Structure 1
Amino acid sequence: MTDQVPASIRYKELTALATTAAQQLRKHERARAAELGEAVAASQQRKDEAEERRQQVVEDVRVRWKAAMEALWDERWMQVKGMPEPDRSAPPATPEESRRDLQDAFMDLYNALEKPRFGAGLLPRRKKSS
């Protein structure tokens, strides 16, 4: 004769296996949820830092624009309506590169304004008579 396991014992074994599997699944899901929570928090922190850097670049642009307008105040021929919109066709750059390029462009403008105007220095100065 063959040994047959009673159905009640087999049922208990199967329910024990199912319970163990469910517990392992819940443990795995809790661990995965914790990992995902950390990833979301890290992503949020990176997003906040990127927004802060963006705000710094925007503020630098605003300050340099205001300084450029003040430097150009005596250039009445130049008609400037207001600060232009960002150039979306510009090549990608890091915030640090953008700030450095902005400073370089501002210094180029400032240096150009310090140069003598067209025709200045071409004619000899009149000597003061005593």
Structure 2
Amino acid sequence: MTETAAERYRELTALATAAGKRMRKHERDSAEKLGEKVAAGKQRTEESEKVRDELVAEVKQRWTAAMQVVWDERWLRSSGLPAADRKAPDASPSESRLAVHEAFEDLRDAITKPRLPTGFLSRRKKS
């Protein structure tokens, strides 16, 4: 069975058309999946920014509380809230909150503990 050039041409154009349709469907599916990934990424970014903003606000509140704790300690000078330490190890927001809380508690305990141990207080000897 011999095919004519016209028949072969129609066969090849049909194959090319089908391949083009499959490729466009694949591209649409890929674009849809990528769009979903981009949307999910944007949502994660927004959530991360919200958590960061909340954490920064909590740290500022702790700093203000710490400055109130050391207010009577005139020898202790502070120039304000320090910048973030970029060399600090990575930590989750909950780990960061815990670290700030523990540091504040340690500061408060150090400032509010008695200045001299009771053993150093002078005692009068009974004569």
TM-score (norm 2): 0.89
Question: How large is the Cα RMSD of the aligned pairs?
Answer: 1.8
Q: Provide Cα deviations, 1:37-81, integer angstroms capped at 9, x if missing partner.
A: 111111111111111111121111100001111111111111111
TM-aligned CA deviation for residue 90 of structure 1: 1.2
Q: Provide Cα deviations, 1:79-106, integer angstroms capped at 9, x if missing partner.
A: 1111111111211111110001100110
| Structure 2 residues without counterparts, runs of 5 or longer | none
Q: Aligned to 1:116, what secondary structure does the other structure show?
A: coil
Aligned length: 124
> Aligned runs of 1:1-130 on 2, under 5 Å?
3-118=1-116, 122-124=120-122
Q: Which aligned segments of 4 or more residues in structure 1 are displaced greater than 2 angstroms?
A: 118-126
TM-aligned CA deviation for residue 32 of structure 1: 0.5
Q: What is the CA–CA distance in structure 2 between the aligned matches of 1:99 and 1:119, rounded to whole Å?
A: 32
Q: 1:104 to 1:52 in 2, by over 3 A?
A: same
Q: What is the CA–CA distance in structure 1 between the aligned matches of 2:119 and 2:55, rounded to whole Å?
A: 39
| Structure 1 residues without counterparts, runs of 5 or longer | none
Q: Aligned to 1:84, what secondary structure does the other structure show?
A: coil
Of the structure 1 ranges 4-13 and 30-39, higher mean CA displacement relative to structure 2 is found in 4-13
